[in-house]
Amino acid sequence: MTNISEFKKNAYELIDWIAGYYENIGDYPVKSRVKPKEIYNQLPAGPPLKSEEFDELMKDFRKIIMPGITHWQHPGFFAYFPANTSFPSILGEMLTAALGAQCMKWETSPAAAELEEAMMNWLKQMTGLPASFQGVIQDSASSSTLCAILSARENATNFQVNQNGYVNQKFRVYCSTEAHSSVEKAVKIAGIGSKNLVKLGTDDEFALLPEELDKAIQKDIKEGYLPLCVVAALGTTSSTAVDPLAKIAEITSKYNIWLHVDAAYAGNVLILPEYRWMIQGIEMADSIVFNPHKWMFTNFDCSAYFVKDHDKLVKTFQILPEYLKTGTDGLVNDYSDWGVQLGRRFRALKLWFVLRCFGVENLQQMLRNHISYANFFAGEVQKTGKFELMAPVKFALVCFRYVPDKSMSDDELNAINEKLLQQINSSGKIYLSHTRLKGKFTLRLQAGQTNVQLKHVEEALKLIMELAGGIAQ
């Protein structure tokens, strides 16, 4: 494919394939059924020496690759959290690929830098975040949490670790036992060490207990530790628990500790005014992240990271060798100084497409629909008397388990629910994931996929009921 005419021909064919894929996506088994190495073993051991026809490439794509795809955009995809895309996002991503811009500095693509700044301001307005916060698009919430912990480390040491390395410091970072694994990964990468991550207990709804946090900080200070950072979760991965931000913020303010808010999934729901209660106290936080690529129909990767003091973020990461100096340094936002990456994709373009093509009101309605679907499902399974909810339904996630006989032990119920999950996912019709809450095997159904409708949730409910009944017999 070396000339424009061939490119146009193949591109039109590819668009037709993409349109057909979405028209018929419900016909695919939502979860891939291939075995380990089944894809790898169909691929040649080395690259071709000569060019191959695009038609042959697409033939192998359909034959080899598609059977190994789990279809995250399938309306029967109820697993994990959504990784949504949408037609406006796809088109924006196509333009990003076509432009092929490396957007590390303002000068390398002024439009990319300024559109990113504008989109972060739009998101602040949409979600009710403080106008004084400044935002940057990172690749993921994991990277954002790493940025927060590194910034906290430098802030607490007057940027001496960056300069001199570790010199007998004893640091502590705090989160709940329900916090995302990316917190522990970030602590490891930052050189703080997993043993210095203090995981705190939670209440009956799996939210962090502020009194335990206060006690842990006091104890650590007495023992010579330097508390660096507290990570509060708005919507934990297992159950979407919401940590009490205002109370946590009072504690971090008292001890002058960096407060990072991980709202990767649930932060998107802040576009609904009725959910702004979650961020009471946000003005006392130092950073917050949420992912439009989870529940705002913008394909991966697009993570919105906001900081109260962007100078501390930039001072943590900025390196300016001669070959990166420009005449606009210090006058504009060079987002390569706002995180780990030097090279940066033009992520703001697809977000711009999504926000303009949907509009805030349509986005709000879609999220409200998803939340209503989850509440419908929760209500229906409870009516049967054979299922129990394992956590409150706060957003579009339902945590539940099958209880055919209330006299059964937790071990027996764990085995039954694990078997039920295997049968559900083997059906190819829907895909659920699981977690453990207080040691209990828990099924998770999230109803936030872009194209999901109530009928798809009803179909999922019917299938789950049928398979559960078969297990009980």
Least confident of 299-303, 327-331, 433-437: 327-331
Q: What is the pLDDT of residues 98-148, one digit of tens each?
A: 999 999 999 999 999 999 999 999 999 999 999 999 999 999 999 999 999
C-beta neighbour count of 340 within 10 angstroms? 13
Q: What is the pLDDT of residues 239-258, one digit of tens each?
A: 999 999 999 999 999 999 99
What pLDDT is stored for residue 473 in this prediction?
55
What pLDDT is stored for residue 327 in this prediction?
84
State the maximum Cα–Cα separation within the chain, in Å, rounded to a whole number.
Answer: 75
Query: With contact defined as beta carbons under 8 Å apart, do 205 and 389 qualify?
Result: no
On the CB side of 429, how many CA atoms lie within 13 Å of its CA? 15
Assign 460 a pLDDT band (cuts: 50, 70, 90): very high
Assign 380 a pLDDT band (cuts: 50, 70, 90): very high
Assessment of whether the complete model's pTM goes beyond 0.85: yes
What pLDDT is stored for residue 60 in this prediction?
95
pLDDT at 164 over 70: yes
What pLDDT is stored for residue 354 in this prediction?
97
d(CA 430, CA 417): 16
**Going by C-beta distance under 8 Å and a sequence separation of 6 or more, which residues neighbour residue 473?**
none
Q: What is the pLDDT of residues 275-300, one digit of tens each?
A: 999 999 999 999 999 999 999 999 99
pLDDT at 97 over 80: yes
Mean pLDDT of 428-444: 96
Give percent of the chain above pLDDT 70.
99
**Going by C-beta distance under 8 Å and a sequence separation of 6 or more, which residues neighbour residue 357?**
86, 87, 88
Give percent of the chain above pLDDT 90.
92
d(CA 139, CA 309): 20
| Structure token pair of residue 167 | 């010199």
Q: What is the pLDDT of residues 309-351, one digit of tens each?
A: 999 999 999 988 888 888 888 898 888 998 998 899 999 999 9
**3-class secondary-structure state, position 208:** strand
d(CA 339, CA 223): 32
pLDDT at 472 over 90: no
Computed over every residue of the chain, the mean pLDDT equals: 95
Mean pLDDT of 218-233: 97
| Structure token pair of residue 137 | 């698009």
pLDDT at 416 over 60: yes
Strand-strand pairing, 397-402 and 387-389: antiparallel
Mean pLDDT of 442-460: 96
Residues in the chain: 473
- Alpha-carbon 445 to chain mean position: 16
On the CB side of 130, how many CA atoms lie within 13 Å of its CA? 17
- In this structure, what DSSP letter does residue 201 have? P
What pLDDT is stored for residue 1 in this prediction?
56
Q: What is the DSSP string of 165-189?
A: ---S--EEEEEETTS-HHHHHHHHH
- Alpha-carbon 68 to chain mean position: 23
